[in-house]
Amino acid sequence: MEPVKNKLTTASGKPYAENENSQTIGPRGPILLQDFILHEKMAHFNRERIPERVVHAKGSGAYGTLTITHDITPYTRAKIFSEIGKQTRTFLRFSTVGGEKGSADTERDPRGFALKFYTEDGNWDLVGNNTPVFFVKDPKKFGDFIHTQKRDPYTNCKSPTMMWDFWSLNPESLHQVTILMSDRGTPYGYRHMDGFGSHTFSFINKDNERFYVKFHFKTQQGIKNFTDEDAADMRGKNPDFAQHDLLTHIDNGDFPKWDLKIQVMPETEAATYHINPFDLTKVWPHGDYPLIDVGVLELNENPDNYFAHVEQAAFAPAHIVDGIGYSPDKMLQGRILSYPDAHRYRLGANYEQIPVNRCPFMVNNYQRDGQMRIDGNGGKNPNYFPNSFDNIIADQNYREPAWDVNAQVADWYDRNAEGDNDHYTQPGNLYKLMSDEAKKDLIKNIVHSMSGIDGPKKDEITNRQLCHWFRADIGLGMAIAQGLQLDLAETMSHMQG
């Protein structure tokens, strides 16, 4: 008989003799309660699903490398940028936003662009999108906004009425909605789109000076999008198009690459710049803050198991490293709380020990116990601080410069104060910059989507949203009104009203 090389065992290591037939009383009799192997197989299967991410549930991921090509040490002391040629291992998860884990990859949606850099000062997570702006600028609105992107509580279907109702009541969303409705809302997989850190972050240099910074990843594969029709077609043909495209290109050695660039604003300019630099619905025009080259990101390794790496990956905007800091961007502030909270619910209190999330360098603290504690739990070492036994210190060299803040507290500040209230110039400029073909596609996509507004509030919602398009660009507003076959005179009278 051939020697058995790898024995099939229970999870506790007991070799199985039989894996396909349950223990029965006679060949046709009932199954015995003592068939533990049957129980173990069934019970583990019943526990295979963990909660999917409440947003960005459908995604794809790969490992790679960030290589620094330019010196930005005058702005930051972060070790990841310390020298030209420096390489840092990275994990990148792409995603759609509104759909469930089994939804189609080519839905019209922003795409997530979430990075984890395994640096020697800890893991740095840059959890961005393929767009430089977002729909809302206060985290209190996030859950309400996302509800409009998910299923209607009664019909259990997606609802253009909910979406346009919310957007029309939140004109700050117009910039992001313009990008979403353009063909950039249906990218051709994940390799042909740019990525953005989106928020304003801080850089802190070795002299403890602060700069404000935005991160951009420019695809070397070139921008390529589906049209609305082609995206719809692909949803039927291959709902996993983007997953398949990324996986096969990396498997074939055709590694996708992005150029990392930054925009930098000296701290002193933030207070006087004519745009609120911490407003996530606005970009910093490149004419004012040009792109500065930093390095190249390459994805070159497919994870060997989807669930272990991609599904269990936990990214958090809270995870910054020395030399990189937060900013007063309200959305960023809200996200600092939200993500680790979501991870504790989705993956458990010790989610940082899962290999894809684990910092490969030093981790020392007094956190102990909890479900699924698998790293030795600190062994015999003290579990309190301060103590007289170990040599773990809070190192003052990692101090950030202090922040000046307005000392008054309120939640009724005028969010529409000067520098914050212009929701129209940037989307209007974006439209004006588009090629004729891109303009045509944008209008077609908006008309298609707004045609889905339904119910007793249809006219009210449609007219309210039309006003926003008109305010961004009169030609755009006219074209959409025509596409929706509206009576222009009546629309104008609504606008004046």
Q: Dihedrals φ, ψ of 38, to 5°?
A: -60, -45
CA-based torsion, 169, 173, 178, 179: positive or negative = negative
Burial string for 413-449 (b: 16+ CB within 10 Å, else e) reads eeeeeeebebbbebbbebbeebeeebbebbbbbbbbb
Smallest gap, in angstroms, from Cβ of residue 51 to ligand HEM? 8
Residue 463 annotated to the active site: no
- Residue of 224, 189, 195, 210 whose CA lies nearest to 59: 189
Smallest gap, in angstroms, from Cβ of residue 54 to ligand HEM? 5
CA-based torsion, 175, 176, 178, 184: positive or negative = positive
Q: Dihedrals φ, ψ of 453, to 5°?
A: -65, 135
110 vs 239 by CB, closer to ligand HEM: 110
Rounded CA-CA distance 16/35 in Å is 11
159 vs 176 by CB, closer to ligand HEM: 176
Rounded CA-CA distance 67/90 in Å is 10
Residue 129 annotated to the active site: yes
Smallest gap, in angstroms, from Cβ of residue 109 to ligand HEM? 11
112 vs 239 by CB, closer to ligand HEM: 112
Smallest gap, in angstroms, from Cβ of residue 308 to ligand HEM? 14
Smallest gap, in angstroms, from Cβ of residue 89 to ligand HEM? 17
Q: Residue with CB nearest ligand HEM?
A: 112
Active-site residue, from 56, 216, 309, 423: 56
55 vs 434 by CB, closer to ligand HEM: 55
Question: HSE on the CB side for 209, CA within 13 Å?
Answer: 11
97 vs 481 by CB, closer to ligand HEM: 97
Smallest gap, in angstroms, from Cβ of residue 311 to ligand HEM? 9
DSSP class of 310: I
Binding site for ligand HEM (CB under 6 A): 53-56, 59, 93, 95, 112, 114, 127-129, 134, 139, 142, 198, 313-315, 331, 334-335, 338-339, 342-343, 346
Does residue 339 have a known ligand-binding role? yes
The secondary element (H helix, E strand) that includes residue 290 is none
62 vs 68 by CB, closer to ligand HEM: 62
Query: In a 10 Å sphere around its CB, with 0-12 CB exposed, 13-18 middle and 19+ buried, how is residue 169 labelled?
Result: exposed
- Residue of 269, 281, 267 whose CA lies nearest to 421: 281
Active-site residue, from 129, 170, 350, 463: 129
Residues 6+ apart with CB under 8 A from 351: 312, 314, 343, 344, 357
Binding residues for heme: 339
Q: Which positions are catalytic?
A: 56, 129
